[in-house]
Structure 1
Amino acid sequence: MADPLYLGAYASLKERIEDGTWAEGDRLPTQAELTADLGISAITLKRAMDMLRDEGYVTARPRRGTVVTPRAARTRPRAEVPTIGYVTPSMDDVFGTPLLIGLARATQGRANLTFALSDGVRAREEEAIEQHLAHDVGAVILLPTTSRWIAPAVLDLAARHFPTVIVDRTMAGLPVSTVTSDNVAGGRMATEHLFQNGHRRIGLVHSASPVSTVDERRAGYIRAHAAEGIRPDPAADLAEVHSMSAEPQADAAQDVIALRAFVADHPSLTGYVVAEYRAAVLLARAAADLGRRVPEDLSIVCFDAPDPSLDPRLNFTHIRQDQERLGATAVELALNQIAEPGAIDKVVIPVSLIEGRTVTGLPGSGTGT
């Protein structure tokens, strides 16, 4: 019986690579050109190309197409476990390091893990994704710089059904797996905690970063007001903290000046929900400059915070994201897609409120001080 057509196509393409018709780094002809040349269908060509990729002869590059890999890459032993590439804008003990720990623990004995920092720069994010793909990763886990711009490399991954997981961002309409914290619930929980402590005039402080997490936390803040029968004051919503944006438009000192003016202009606000920990630190500094103490004169609930044993003065009441679980879940979603291409899932991880020393009960709240 004759060999299946895709095996003949595979053999023909492989021969052209080995005899130098296509040299290392050359881009292969387009799908239309190859199917016409070989007299086969697009499905048959795909099976042949998949075999060449599996054996390391070619690799897909965003915006370039399929290219011939170096000979050394074809002869090296193939890994027994897949490699997962992780790309993130930044990493520190407040947010990022615990997530990486979750990734590392979940991949032990199951996958190799590599990671790259984009520093919040779109071009570097693109470059990091392409570098991972050039090294034959089996999946990409990405914490995008923004939710309102999708890197062309990510669109290409989605179009090819390449195993991809987006972390900490909601990407509407993009057919990839995602894992996020329940930021809406977190925003509501933070606001309700202030209401329960007698605060009725509550401000919201967040960065101008175009990310879904901030939008979702703001939505939770608004829902808590609605449930309490209180209309939130639009003037009490400050979105002008710029030093934490991916591409900062101001430094921390300038943000403190802006926050100081905001607090001074809104003396009736007794509590604040702050969408990011560093913004909460700046807010506390601005309040201190005005002679307002935290929590005696101003209560603050933020998202994420370092271990208070590192600095008891910064023991913020905060919404805690289970970052290690975020990382571990991202790995599970990536491995699921490697085993079953096209297996898309959306996972939301619960959050919790951790009481610190930055909230006090107002007289009549029944919570004490």
Structure 2
Amino acid sequence: MTIHQQPPPRATMREVATAAGVSLKTVSRVVNGEPGVREAVRRKVEAVVEDLGYRHHRGASDLRRGGQRTRAIGVLVQDIANDYSARLLRSLEDATRERGFVLLTASLDEDADRERQLVAEMIARRVDGLVLMAASERQDYLAADVRAGLPVVCVDRVPRGLAVDCVTIDNTGGTRAGTEHLLRHGHRRIAFLGDLPTIPTARERLEGWRQALTAAGLEADPALVRDGLRTVGAARDALLELLRLPDPPTAVFAARNVLTVGCLHALREELPGPQPEVVGFDDVELMDLLEPRTTVVRQDVEAVGRAAAELLERRLAAHGGPVQHVVVPAELVVR
């Protein structure tokens, strides 16, 4: 029989006061940013807060210590307005609502500072768990909270510097399948439109494009790569620029749904040559009704949400075991 030990409770304000040798009122003033505390004392309290991993709870600081839960899950995605993020949130909502939880959500906008601020806000409200689509390069700033028992599940991107569960899509394999589809159609000059190279999923998709070309005995021409693209307009302009090259691409892989839409906008322009074939990563609502009909690599976002909810529930139930990395396959939808 395996006995799972409960994680140690989080540090309390009283423990901070004892360790710092000050009163509870002094600690309260420091963590709430109030005046009336000498600078040397403030620095001492802040050092103890950092050392103990204390997080201030606004309004009900003894709620979790009383053995209760807030029944709230913090979910931080890149952009709630994005189709992928919206579908992920809906899937998480459906899965967690059955378990009696509500979601507190916010957008990170690929901003690492915003991520840390919003994570702190979620933890201050004593969420029972956190689902994070990280914008930061490393997430080890959460290590003290994880040690104190906060369940964290990363989605879309593998965590770095933090050993927690995660759920990702097979970005490299999906992009390789989409590029191989274009190769089977006889294309040899295949462009790649990608997101910010600092984003792990963007790098994985670029790698899938390279792998497919290399396996076909072709050179991955850097002149056909346009990255750092964030909007429909940027993708449209990038494709039009590529089509004006002396040796333009005959096909393009768009590595994000908004970039696929940008390519379709470009195809409505008066093009300098034949219309290129487009394959996009991630489906878009009504895509099958648009002209030209566009093949896509579809992400099973609902499966990502369900898997994240299951991993979170397992941690909330204090089940031990090693961290898990669930990889959801991507599906090539040929149109």
Bin the TM-score by the shorter chain. 0.7 to 0.9
Q: How does 1:151-300 map to 2 (within 5 A)?
A: 151=139, 153-158=141-146, 160=148, 162-241=150-229, 243-244=230-231, 253=233, 256-265=236-245, 267-291=247-271, 297-300=275-278
What letter is aligned with 1:150? R
Distance 2:17 2:227 in 1: 60
SS in structure 2 of the partner of residue 66 of structure 1 = coil
- Work out the number of aligned pairs and report it: 301
What letter is aligned with 2:307? T
TM-score normalised over the length of structure 2: 0.76
Corresponding residue number in structure 2 for 1:248: none
Q: Deviations over 1:61-114 (max 9, x none)?
A: 778842665674437986567432111120236311111111011112324222
Corresponding residue number in structure 1 for 2:319: 340
Corresponding residue number in structure 1 for 2:3: none
Q: CA deviation at 1:223?
A: 1.6
Q: CA deviation at 1:204?
A: 1.2
The yes-or-no answer on 1:66 pairing with 2:44 is: no
Q: Is 255-264 or 179-188 further displaced after alignment?
A: 255-264
Q: CA deviation at 1:265?
A: 0.6
Unaligned runs of 5+ in 1: 1-5, 29-59, 245-251, 357-369
TM-score normalised over the length of structure 1: 0.70
Q: Percent identity?
A: 25
The yes-or-no answer on 1:143 pairing with 2:133 is: yes
SS in structure 1 of the partner of residue 306 of structure 2 = helix
Q: How does 1:70-149 map to 2 (within 5 A)?
A: 72-74=60-62, 79=68, 82-92=71-81, 94-112=83-101, 113-146=103-136, 149=137
The yes-or-no answer on 1:25 pairing with 2:43 is: no
The structure-2 alpha-carbon separation of the partners of 1:68 and 1:169, relative to structure 1 and needing over 3 Å to count, comes to: closer
Q: CA deviation at 1:217?
A: 1.1
What letter is aligned with 1:349? V
What letter is aligned with 1:325? A
Q: Which of the numbers 328, 350, 356 marks the counterpart of 2:329?
A: 350
Distance 2:292 2:320 in 1: 45
Q: CA deviation at 1:194?
A: 0.7
The structure-2 alpha-carbon separation of the partners of 1:67 and 1:217, relative to structure 1 and needing over 3 Å to count, comes to: closer
1:189–1:353 CA contact under 8 A, matched in 2: yes
SS in structure 1 of the partner of residue 54 of structure 2 = strand
CA RMSD of aligned residues (A): 3.5
Distance 2:288 2:178 in 1: 23
Distance 2:200 2:55 in 1: 35
